[in-house]
Amino acid sequence: MTDHWFEPLADYMGMAYDRYAHTKGTVQEVDHVVAALGLTAGDRVLDVGCGTGRHSLELARRGIVTHGVDISQRFVDIAVAAAGAESLEVATFARGDARDLGFSDAFDAVICLCQGAFGMMTAGGDDSSVVAGMAAAVRPGGRLALSAFNAYFAVKYHDDAEFDADTGVSHERTEIRSESGEPKAVDLWTGCYTPRELRLLLGTHGFMIDAICSVEPGQYGSHPATTESPEFLVIASR
């Protein structure tokens, strides 16, 4: 039995996950996040929903101490192997549930990017638990970078998905591939948000919003929030 609907999908994709186009902008995304959060070598960063570790590994290459947490043991194993291959001792990984992180004032910053954990929940209470855990994990004065799917964009452009206006969750039937290229039809659920909802949710848990910007994978920046981007990037402080 698994703890989250995404686990069997991650097991099936394995290293093939990093072949998807949305994973190819890692360096640019980290460039922006490092600048936006004011990160320097030696800072401690928690990567929530780290997947195969691409953001954590890139931060570690810059001397930033990273700890990635993901619900998928398969993804964690891939990340650990990648860190070992590059001798990135400042990058560590562990299987964990973002709804129950269990850290207290342990990090200078927390990141949760590309629908990692927060965006993969289907219940508002789960999203709130993720944010609460991130707020507890970061020290007072620490920073947060969180991406969330744009509800406006989902309503306007996701013709092949079903958007539930009551829950704010988008559901689609899509195809994923294994490491050997074998296709498999699966269901995906994505929690979608407006900037107002993000401000209210994060504010409830003690985060002060510095900016909410319109972004897409590999094109992070400081553009004002619009209806035309697939994601929002929230930069906040505790």
47-58, pLDDT tens digit by residue?
999 999 999 999
222 SS3 class: coil
- Token digits for 175? 């195809």
Q: Is the pLDDT of residue 124 over 70?
A: no
- Token digits for 217? 């994978």
- Token digits for 191? 């929690």
From CA 87, how far away is CA 32, in angstroms rounded? Answer: 24
The residue type at 131: V
From CA 89, how far away is CA 86, in angstroms rounded? Answer: 9
Average pLDDT over residues 101-110: 97
From CA 107, how far away is CA 216, in angstroms rounded? Answer: 26
Instruction: Identify the burial level of 175 via C-beta atoms within 10 angstroms of its C-beta, where 0-12 means exposed, 13-18 middle and 19 or more buried.
Output: exposed
Bridge partners (DSSP) listed for residue 189: 171
Average pLDDT over the chain reads: 95
Q: Is the pLDDT of residue 43 over 80?
A: yes
Nearest CA among 89, 220, 179 for reference residue 231: 220
Q: What predicted TM-score, i.e. pTM, was given to this entire model? A: 0.96
Average pLDDT over residues 18-37: 96
The residue type at 86: E
Q: At the topology level of CATH, where does 7-149+194-237 sit?
A: Rossmann fold (3.40.50)
- Give the containing element (helix H, strand E) for 93: strand 91-95
From CA 66, how far away is CA 58, in angstroms rounded? Answer: 10
